[in-house]
Amino acid sequence: MEKERSFYQRLKEKGVSRRDFMKYCTALTATMGLSSSFVPGVAEVFAAPAQRPPVVWLHFAECTGCSESLLRSQYPYIDELVLEVLSVEYHETIMAAAGHQAEEQLQNAIKKYEGKFICIVEGGVGTKYNGGYGKVGGRSFLEIAKDVCPKAAAVIAYGTCATFGGIQAAAPNPGGYKGVGEAIGIKPLQIPGCPPNPINLVGTVVNYLLLGKLPELDDMGRPLFAFGNTIHDKCPRRSHFENEEFVEEFGSEEAAMGYCLYKMGCRGPETYNNCPTAKFNDGTSWPVEAGHPCIGCSQPNFWDTMTPFYEEM
Ligand code: FSX
Ligand code: SF4
Ligand code: F3S
């Protein structure tokens, strides 16, 4: 009770009302595919966490957009929520330590929490030349991944770079970049997207803390609650050529179809992600709603198989 009171007090100091917070929990619960009866439980995971799993967050080849999308854009207080439920032991972007001190922190964390920590990986891993195409603290990404990931209780590959290789794996891929699973032969839980939607990571973690298990996954290791449908399946622009009223309003099926971005190269029909329902930036909008075709950023081999952008497949 005391814990909960101080949590709401801290949110209030950040200008976030209990109502805003409940709105977020409701959206999160719906995204996780749970009924609304779970909303109070979800709120409690944040407000009075029973446990805070230690997290080691690794950065490999990427743009840090995955961390940025999590820490900045969605809700002004998402950082509070994340730091409330997770005990982040190592994260190069947000940690105060630097240099040798930071590396020491990583070693200490994996020793202290061996078999217990969650390892979140952001970025692709170079596999050619013994991983020589990318290093942190004098060690290659490949060496770090091989050292840290097997010691974790669970590995979450976060973003298209960590899941499928991403932009650095685009042809001609001189560094032999791959997703972390393929690079070191493990099967991580995968949350692709460039950037991924932070609600899918938070939903995965909350699912684990609330129900004591990871969400159901597809054969690529992606949570079904987020990647069970294509963009096209839930796209509101589809309604314009499938809904008689719209067709009537536009004058013909062809004219109504013009509202769809397929001819501008939309990859929605072959891209699995929940952007149309989860949206970005506090549920404000998402690419197709903002008038931009989906470029397939969460698919395997995004970049090569999705380019040239803006051309019909
Ligand atoms: Fe990749 Fe994440 Fe795209 Fe960027 O770190 S998925 S380039 S948004 O930031 O890995
Ligand atoms: Fe499908 Fe894209 Fe058209 Fe939406 S805009 S209906 S996702 S092709
Ligand atoms: Fe990416 Fe397409 Fe969503 S480009 S952000 S999967 S709409």
Q: Average pLDDT for residues 217-239, to the nearest whole number?
A: 95
| CA–centroid distance, residue 59 to ligand 1 (Å) | 10
Q: Which atom of ligand 3 has the smallest separation from the CA of 268?
A: 2
For 172, 178, 224, 272, 275, the CA distances from 233, given in Å and listed in that order, are: 33, 29, 14, 9, 11
> Is the model's pLDDT at 2 over the cut of 80?
no
Ligand nearest to the CA of 73: 1
d(CA 6, CA 275): 33
**Residue 145 near ligand 2, beta carbon < 6 Å:** no
Taking alpha carbons only, the member of 76, 70, 112 closest to residue 93 is 70
Q: Which atom of ligand 1 has the smallest separation from the CA of 166?
A: 1
| CA–centroid distance, residue 51 to ligand 3 (Å) | 33
Pocket of ligand 1 (CB under 6 A): 62-66, 122-123, 159-161, 166-167, 194-195
The one-letter code for the residue type at 251 is G
The CB-based long-range contact list for 167-171 (8 Å cut-off, 24+ gap) reads 167/63, 167/194, 167/303, 168/61, 168/62, 168/124, 168/126, 169/124, 169/301, 169/303, 170/303, 170/304, 171/304
- Any idea which of 126-140, 163-177, 263-277, 279-293 has the lowest mean pLDDT? 279-293
| CA–centroid distance, residue 257 to ligand 2 (Å) | 9
**Residue 281: which pLDDT band, with cuts at 50, 70 and 90?**
confident
| CA–centroid distance, residue 276 to ligand 3 (Å) | 9
d(CA 116, CA 122): 19
C-alpha dihedral (32, 33, 36, 42), degrees to nearest 10: -20
**Residue 262 near ligand 2, beta carbon < 6 Å:** yes
> What pTM was computed for the model?
0.94
d(CA 237, CA 299): 21
> Is the model's pLDDT at 104 over the cut of 60?
yes
Q: What is residue 68's predicted lDDT score, i.e. its pLDDT?
A: 86
Question: Which is more confident, 243 or 76?
Answer: 243
d(CA 138, CA 176): 19
The CB-based long-range contact list for 208-212 (8 Å cut-off, 24+ gap) reads 208/53, 209/45, 209/49, 209/50, 209/51, 209/53, 209/85, 210/38, 210/41, 210/42, 210/45
d(CA 206, CA 42): 7
| Token duo for residue 238 | 């589809």
**Residue 229: which pLDDT band, with cuts at 50, 70 and 90?**
very high
Instruction: Check residue 95 and give left, alpha or beta (phi > 0: left; psi -120 to 50: alpha).
Output: beta
Q: Which residues is 91 bridged to in the sheet?
A: 57
Ligand 1 pocket test target in 57, 58, 59, 63 with most atoms within 8 Å of CB: 63
| Cα-based angle 44, 48, 54 (whole degrees, multiple of 5) | 105
The one-letter code for the residue type at 190 is Q
User: Which helix (H) or strand (E) element contains residue 73?
Assistant: none
